[in-house]
Amino acid sequence: MELRQLSYFEAVVRCGGFGRAAQQLRIAQPAISAQLKRLEAELGTPLLERTTRRVALTHAGELFLARARNVLDQVNGARFDLAELAAVLRGRVRIGATEVLGSVDLPGSLAQFRRRYPGVTVALRAGLIAELMHGLDAGELDIVLGPLHQELLGGYHARPLVEERLVLVTPPGWPPRGPGPAALSDVRDEPFVCLRAGSFLQAILIEAAAAEDFTPRIELETHSPASIRELVAAGLGAGLIAESAARAPGPAVRGRYLQPAPQHLLIGMIWPRDREPGPATRAWQQHLDQAYGAGESPAGAP
């Protein structure tokens, strides 16, 4: 049994006759007829009832057609996979990433991806989420990893990967004293260090403080969560940062969970709705999905 015999048989049934199948396949009709006769002889049963006007399936033909189409689908799928792999192996992916990625190990994930696809060109740009989204819009990036802000997701696909939470960080020795969760109001009289005005982190800080009836005194605005930690460690104020940033290697700060806890956003992947991701980008998405497991998409995203 040959693959072309299955293809000829399926085409004859789909087209309703040998002549139309021959035209579609661009093969002489006698060649198709001869191959199907060989197939029937090998199977030991007729698959088609041939008349001068039409071709109809026998009962055996009906059973065989389902199997034949399944085989052809599997072969076509394998061809697509190999073509996709070939495209990945010579592709590129441009990744934007924020500093706050929760439990996503970006260096480790990139290293594993590079070992699996050594021919793929990988470019990485770090920055704040709003800046990276501009790069996505401008076609400078293919995909962004970072917090999934609902306000930014219109017109994008988004898929969550991991959760993140915010913690209060203070210099060692500062209040609040004692174990257990702290309240943001415990440091209401202290200066705060935060990202610049207009950032989502500053909005979260102001909203959380308002819920505890005070306005935070933000004396220092900086460009990144890592620099918040550096300034806090130097004794210049308290701050809110992601737990992953507080636990990362760096200058010593005291981190406390907050009660009530300000809501942090899920960390995930973002890519444009109006631009189909290339093979290398799809491979990167699958790589992260396998490593971290994609959760449910946020409201308004697929």
53 or 189, which is more confident?
189
| Mean pLDDT, all residues of the chain | 87
| pLDDT in the model for residue 300 | 32
Residue 296 has pLDDT above 50, yes or no: no
| pLDDT in the model for residue 295 | 44
Chain centre to alpha carbon of residue 181: 33
- The mean pLDDT of 16-26, rounded to a whole number, is 87
Residue 22 has pLDDT above 60, yes or no: yes
What does the block give as tokens for 254? Answer: 């005291």
Helix 59-89, helix 279-292: angle, nearest 10:
100
Unique residue bearing structure tokens 């093979």: 279
| pLDDT in the model for residue 86 | 65
Q: Quick one: DSSP state of residue 120?
A: S
| pLDDT in the model for residue 85 | 67
Model confidence pLDDT, tens digit, residues 169-209: 999 888 787 778 999 999 999 999 999 888 888 999 999 99
| Cis geometry, peptide bond prior to residue 172 (ω within 30 degrees of 0) | no
- The mean pLDDT of 206-233, rounded to a whole number, is 94
Band (pLDDT 50/70/90 cuts) for residue 264 is: confident
Band (pLDDT 50/70/90 cuts) for residue 153 is: confident
Least confident of 95-104, 149-158, 185-194, 249-258: 149-158
Contacts of 2 (CB under 8 A, 6+ apart): 35
Band (pLDDT 50/70/90 cuts) for residue 80 is: confident
Decide if 33 contacts 9 (C-beta within 8 A). no
Decide if 215 contacts 206 (C-beta within 8 A). yes
Residue 104 has pLDDT above 80, yes or no: yes
What is the three-class DSSP state of 177?
coil
Task: Tell me the CA distances in angstroms from 189 to 79, 176, 220, 227, 240, one per residue in order.
Answer: 66, 12, 15, 22, 15
Alpha carbons 259 and 186: distance in angstroms, whole number: 11
* Strand residues in 61-147 grouped as ranges (E): 92-97, 121-126, 143-147
- The mean pLDDT of 4-25, rounded to a whole number, is 87
- The mean pLDDT of 227-250, rounded to a whole number, is 93
What is the three-class DSSP state of 96?
strand
Unique residue bearing structure tokens 């197939």: 39
What is the three-class DSSP state of 187?
helix
Band (pLDDT 50/70/90 cuts) for residue 79 is: confident
- The mean pLDDT of 273-298, rounded to a whole number, is 80
Contacts of 284-292 with CB under 8 Å at 24 or more apart are 284/93, 284/95, 284/113, 284/143, 285/143, 285/159, 287/109, 287/112, 287/113, 287/116, 288/104, 288/109, 288/145, 288/161, 289/159, 289/161, 291/109, 291/112, 292/103, 292/104, 292/161, 292/162
| pLDDT in the model for residue 270 | 96
Alpha carbons 147 and 149: distance in angstroms, whole number: 6
299 or 90, which is more confident?
90
- The mean pLDDT of 242-254, rounded to a whole number, is 90
What is the three-class DSSP state of 182?
strand
Decide if 143 contacts 269 (C-beta within 8 A). yes
Task: Give me the domains of the chain, ranges plus CATH numbers.
Answer: 3-88 (1.10.10.10), 90-163+266-292 (3.40.190.10), 166-256 (3.40.190.10)
Unique residue bearing structure tokens 């799928």: 77
| pLDDT in the model for residue 52 | 64
Decide if 125 contacts 141 (C-beta within 8 A). yes
Residue 299 has pLDDT above 50, yes or no: no
Q: Percent of the chain at pLDDT above 90?
A: 43
Unique residue bearing structure tokens 């199907």: 36
